[in-house]
Structure 1
Amino acid sequence: MVGISMKANNIVPLSVLMVLQFTVISLVNQSSFDISYVNILKDTGGAMLAIGAISGWLSHLMPAEVKSVLVFWRWSNVLPGHRFIQLSEKDRRIDTVLLKARVSEYDLLKQNNSEQNSHWYKEFYRPSNKQDEVASTHRAYLLYRDAAAVSFVSAFALLVAKQFLGEYLLEVSYQSLWVFVVAIAGFSIAARNAGNRLVTTAVAISLSGLI
């Protein structure tokens, strides 16, 4: 339920990110600033509700596993939890000596990325996921991951539409795709950083004795 609640709470900021992309696309195609998109941000009624519903729907078209590949640019052992030991060793907040004492067979687990994620989830994330710092970082990760996914789906939809319905989309240039490409890259990097931070924050809080 926590994950669902976080995704629901992210609908508004996700919608804002999509409106900003459409504003840039409008600028690319018209060479002028279309204030109507900005006015949508002031609308707490129909327009934002519709965009929120569409953004939420688009974010669910891509499976979570594919979203992770899009964010972390890996095909196997994709999630940062699969590398929580390596990430923790680079985080100055984490005492490696305490971590080694907490994790049995530390060196063996370090070489087994496929087992690291389940260990991290059980021993570090589950006990700390109610902590504000962990929850806020998790929410940021989900927001930027879903934003990257929605941008990817939107770019694909635009490309297909231009190929098969080009005569009806003459005012929309292929340059619009670059807006989505830049957005996908930016959101993916932000999600990756937030995901890595989520992993190490859960470890740091667990080792600190706050839970």
Structure 2
Amino acid sequence: MSDDEKTLNQQNHLSTGAYIVINILVFLILKLGVSANEATDSILEKFLTSATWLLVSGIFTKVINGQLSSQFKAVLVFWRIKETLPGCRAFSYFMDRDPRINSNVLQAKFGNLPSNPTEQNQLWYKIYKKHELKKSVEDAHKKFLLTRDLASLSFLGFGVLGIFGYFMFANFYTWMIYTSTLLVTFLITSQAARNYGIKLVSNVLAEESSI
């Protein structure tokens, strides 16, 4: 993971932590059969105002989020086993699908653009490093990392909380609704991450072809 990715992940840390807390809170509401207000009073007010709890939740978030590698997270987002990242198709696919990108300018700068997926990603990343601090690039990158992590956490939640819920919830109907919601959440966050990942690739090429 590059330094810039670490920094952006740190900026997203509060959002991913809140996402984990909300998922655990929903699970406890269904398990204990209490209302949302009761769960909030008994859990959030007692623990979230505690400095110790904030420290523990921060560590817990890092541990949970670290269970999946960046490569596996990319598989979950882009639904591809090989040449997972969109940078692998930067010039053969995405370049011609964004009207902001001038392919003639890119060809003039870099000669024949690569068709090999690995070489495409390598060239795209080289260009990315020139523009990583541009607002359009940094914003898309930050949103991609956030939604990618949320999709990964949703995938873990679907597997782990879904299994626990099967054995711990009072009735099968509740479990079905709950696991279905977890699955839909994963699909939505995965799609969002995919869109932001493609936007990141396109924004980098648009920046490069405009100068």
Q: Tell me if TM exceeds 0.5.
A: yes
- Amino acid in the other structure paired with 2:130: P
1:145, 1:139 → 2: CA distance? 10
Pick which of 125-134 and 183-192 moved more.
Answer: 125-134
Aligned residues: CA RMSD:
2.7
Size of the aligned set, in residue pairs, is: 201
Q: Which runs of 5+ in 2 are unaligned?
A: none
2:111, 2:137 → 1: CA distance? 24
**Residue in structure 2 matched with residue 174 of structure 1 by the alignment:** 175
1:61, 1:177 → 2: CA distance? 21
1:91 paired to 2:79:
no
Q: 1:196 aligns with which of 177, 192, 198?
A: 198
How far 1:127 moved relative to its partner? Answer: 0.8
SS at match of 1:174: helix
2:38, 2:210 → 1: CA distance? 49
The residue correspondences of 1:1-211 to structure 2 (distance < 5 A) are: 1-22=3-24, 30=33, 32-34=35-37, 36-37=39-40, 40=44, 43=49, 45-85=51-91, 86-106=93-113, 109-110=114-115, 112-122=116-126, 124-162=127-165, 166=167, 169-171=168-170, 173-175=174-176, 176-209=178-211
- Amino acid in the other structure paired with 2:120: Q
How far 1:32 moved relative to its partner? Answer: 4.9
- Amino acid in the other structure paired with 1:161: F
Length-normalised TM-score, structure 2: 0.81
Q: Percent identity, please.
A: 25
- Contact 1:144 1:187 (8 Å CA) reproduced: yes
Q: Which runs of 5+ in 1 are unaligned?
A: none
- Amino acid in the other structure paired with 2:169: L
2:175, 2:83 → 1: CA distance? 35
- Cα 1:95–1:44 change in 2 (3 A) is farther
2:34, 2:99 → 1: CA distance? 47
